[in-house]
Structure 1
């Protein structure tokens, strides 16, 4: 790719980011001679950075300086956006990339995502800080922008795990992110961290396959696959093999850092697939050089909602009211009935756990990972299996015996200072986040529903809360929702738009994104509990 074409990639990526920061006001002419003043100002502060072929397309905030011969002037950059392919081909003589997708998500109209940063000052501020720090706004952050409180906590935690002082070197961190995302065939996250890995000086030979990486990282492959697919099988013997591997051994602090990264990217892969996140224009699979099929169609039009279907209402019409009535009835039963015995509570848990095994994760054909993805992990055939099969029995993980609050939190904080606190804040943020609304209804207490979702996910992993009545789950979560949950948590690569649209059809996209945040954090905590318990057993 020629230098001008690489610069054009950066321009288009910057244009998309600026559009998220400062959406085009309604009524603005899409092909007029001037863009919004906000966009003009931020472009004047952009310095496009030259990158090697195959590396990440980055743009950093810096004072405008004299540009080199290989760079376009800011006015030319603006022409690319305002006059589209027609003028750019005439004046610049280069191919201009066009985004393949209609925004950050295949499931959510872009106009709804961009509207958030326009009306919510906190979201816009977080976007600006992320753009200034990283030189980019990834599509995951744009979708999470529906919930700025959570997004702030998420970005702080991720930044600390990847950039701040810690037991692992920077290139190890990104490589572990690649390994974790690859287990779920999440090419979006794999490509993102391949670029970051190279940016921090990682050896390109490692990207040829896991067998080209250091032995120390290769030994992490077993832990990676068990945590991703069957964390209940993890034992202290797995931990011992990593800590006593002679010259390739891990320290406890390094292992804690690696475990947090693995669980973070396993769960983030779930969110990526669950929200239908699309690659950015400068990423692999995010662009094309072919002209648009519709005449006069401008890439700038995407920001205003062209080319994306609207979210349809539920034909049943009363799904929300039915769910609210069930919540009300359950609350009344709680108030009127005596508390069930521990034996009865245990029986209800086992029943729900058994029923969760009967929920089919997805009806689609089994996904076969491509060579580009499978090279980053071992044993591609290893995948999710239900917690127990006929004739098998795995002991239930009782939170009363080992919990995040009483055990996992302190272990992480002791070996990787401050991370336990950040993770706890992120878990609590997702679990307690509420706007007291359900679709169009206001002043609704959703705590019962949020707890049912969280505990159902942990139930699928064999984790039991002694004080929870698992009989409530079947009252609150219908079968289509359970299928979506199980697919996104256990086999996220099989998540489809049809599945996303099939549950809670009357709810807002922001509410479904909140559900996905709950699923992501509940899954991460479940994996962490099994890993940290195994480490604790090894230490004792």
Structure 2
């Protein structure tokens, strides 16, 4: 009981750290069956992520007081500190914006009832078989008084929510197919119709959880010990130590040796000069941009070429994803996905941002129908896009603007979205194939993301930098989906 008692004392003294919170959220394995007379679960995984060493994640609040404060506030508000927040804690500025937006969408006054909000979150996460998010919102749905019968399957939910299934499916996998007819079907239904304000709220929730599923898989987020799939009752096969020991760096010798070996491998990889090559390409591209600017015709040609090539990038070697029965019950047509489109070679029409942009059109529409949300989303987009520490791996004082813009625009390019003022020829210079495979998989088929894929791109970069990349991918995806949905709603309104 020593670990649990110490954690309780720190809470009472209001001086707890993220490690203490992690102890509280996880059950101490040293509380044995003999001590309590009950079966005590232990975590299946080592920490919040399968991809990132636990010790690195739990050290964040020790070096960044702002992260510590955000963790404390989140724990006080929700009574838990979820693993997504712990991983996002590498970037406290972004995490603060993310939690503020998510809290507003789920808890504050809005067009939709609380149980509807959580059920829509379940529907959205289920499209990518993200059992982590589904289980999280199943619990929240029940806590706010949701009908357990709805959880038996989508056909047990109200017709109004069932009607949202088609929008959920298209937004998640092929948002360019969304038209004003889909919007009209929801707004003008003879029974159980949606209001414009309700639909905007639903669209923001759907896109939020589609993109959050991408982040969850892209960072290898593991379930908390109290969640389904997060624990086991089997005894330890190695020496008896608990998650509290791991959090304090007191793991067994094998674990420490594995980490030491991992660092040695990473050290050897750094000899390759991958970062230096990327920095040199950025320098050369900037010099070419300063000397000569391509014509609008050439820019358009380069976009179409990059869009076509992005369709040919395979997602996770086309590995088949095993559907989860408990998750797939929450959506229809499981065979529908981005994979089908790429195989059929269907044409993705070009969406010119100059004709309909978030800044000039989407932002104002959202803010008008769902006050303050447009502002919150805009701040979150800007935070992810502009976030920089002016570093690249071991190099400091580096302007990463060109690289961040290439990543953001490549994702939008995959969705057919074009910026007239961007030279898409830069993408092939800055993003290698292994990185493109990772991006496409995480954005389009996140459930297929593997640790091997995560480790194969930017091998010299820190885990915090890869988490930043995943924030960029998540927000770029969300904005792309929103642009298609909001454009369709605008077409209906006009």
TM over 0.5: yes
Residue 385 of structure 1: how far off its partner (Å) = 4.3
C-alpha spacing 1:150/1:59, structure 2 compared with 1 (3 Å): farther
Deviation per CA, 1:101-156, whole angstroms, max 9, x where unpaired? 10000000010001111111000000000000000000000000000000000000
Contact 1:171 1:200 (C-alpha < 8 Å) held by counterparts: yes
Segment of structure 1 superposing worse, 71-80 or 179-188:
71-80
RMSD of Structure 2 on Structure 1 (CA): 4.3
- Partners of 1:82 and 1:361 lie apart in 2 by 34
Paired residue secondary structure (1:62): helix
C-alpha spacing 1:70/1:437, structure 2 compared with 1 (3 Å): closer
Segment of structure 1 superposing worse, 337-346 or 125-134:
337-346
Match status 1:323 vs 2:278? yes
Contact 2:348 2:415 (C-alpha < 8 Å) held by counterparts: no
Contact 1:243 1:250 (C-alpha < 8 Å) held by counterparts: yes
Contact 1:102 1:307 (C-alpha < 8 Å) held by counterparts: no
- Partners of 2:46 and 2:95 lie apart in 1 by 22
Match status 1:414 vs 2:374? no
Contact 1:60 1:134 (C-alpha < 8 Å) held by counterparts: no
Contact 2:132 2:222 (C-alpha < 8 Å) held by counterparts: yes
Q: How many residues are matched?
A: 478
Contact 1:103 1:110 (C-alpha < 8 Å) held by counterparts: yes
C-alpha spacing 1:508/1:238, structure 2 compared with 1 (3 Å): same
C-alpha spacing 1:95/1:447, structure 2 compared with 1 (3 Å): same
Contact 2:4 2:28 (C-alpha < 8 Å) held by counterparts: no
Match status 1:243 vs 2:183? no
Q: How does 1:118-517 map to 2 (within 5 A)?
A: 118-305=62-249, 317-334=272-289, 336-385=290-339, 392-517=346-471
Contact 1:109 1:305 (C-alpha < 8 Å) held by counterparts: no
Segment of structure 1 superposing worse, 65-74 or 173-182:
65-74
- Partners of 1:501 and 1:80 lie apart in 2 by 31
Contact 1:221 1:377 (C-alpha < 8 Å) held by counterparts: yes
Paired residue secondary structure (1:350): helix
Contact 1:458 1:464 (C-alpha < 8 Å) held by counterparts: yes
Contact 1:141 1:151 (C-alpha < 8 Å) held by counterparts: yes
Contact 1:146 1:510 (C-alpha < 8 Å) held by counterparts: yes
Residue 283 of structure 1: how far off its partner (Å) = 0.1
TM-score w.r.t. the length of structure 2 is 0.90
Deviation per CA, 1:335-389, whole angstroms, max 9, x where unpaired? x433211111000000100110111011153113121011000111111147777
Paired residue secondary structure (1:84): coil
Deviation per CA, 1:431-487, whole angstroms, max 9, x where unpaired? 000000000100000000000000000000000000000000000000000000000
Contact 1:234 1:534 (C-alpha < 8 Å) held by counterparts: yes
Greater per-residue helix proportion: 2
Residue 305 of structure 1: how far off its partner (Å) = 4.8
C-alpha spacing 1:66/1:215, structure 2 compared with 1 (3 Å): same
- Partners of 2:188 and 2:170 lie apart in 1 by 19
Deviation per CA, 1:291-346, whole angstroms, max 9, x where unpaired? 11112333322214566999xxxxx5200000000001111111x43321111100
C-alpha spacing 1:203/1:442, structure 2 compared with 1 (3 Å): same
Paired residue secondary structure (2:4): strand
Contact 2:25 2:80 (C-alpha < 8 Å) held by counterparts: no
Paired residue secondary structure (1:489): helix
Residue 92 of structure 1: how far off its partner (Å) = 1.9
C-alpha spacing 1:93/1:473, structure 2 compared with 1 (3 Å): same
Unpaired segments ≥5 residues, structure 1: 1-56, 311-315
Deviation per CA, 1:151-208, whole angstroms, max 9, x where unpaired? 0000000000000000000000000000000000000000000000000000000000
C-alpha spacing 1:64/1:431, structure 2 compared with 1 (3 Å): closer
Contact 2:4 2:24 (C-alpha < 8 Å) held by counterparts: no
Residue 247 of structure 1: how far off its partner (Å) = 2.1
- Partners of 1:73 and 1:355 lie apart in 2 by 47
Contact 1:271 1:517 (C-alpha < 8 Å) held by counterparts: yes
C-alpha spacing 1:250/1:138, structure 2 compared with 1 (3 Å): same
Unpaired segments ≥5 residues, structure 2: 255-270
C-alpha spacing 1:461/1:307, structure 2 compared with 1 (3 Å): farther
Residue 59 of structure 1: how far off its partner (Å) = 17
Contact 1:327 1:448 (C-alpha < 8 Å) held by counterparts: yes
Residue 394 of structure 1: how far off its partner (Å) = 4.0
TM-score w.r.t. the length of structure 1 is 0.82
Q: Which protein has the larger Cα radius of gyration, Structure 1 or Structure 2?
A: 1
- Partners of 1:308 and 1:325 lie apart in 2 by 42
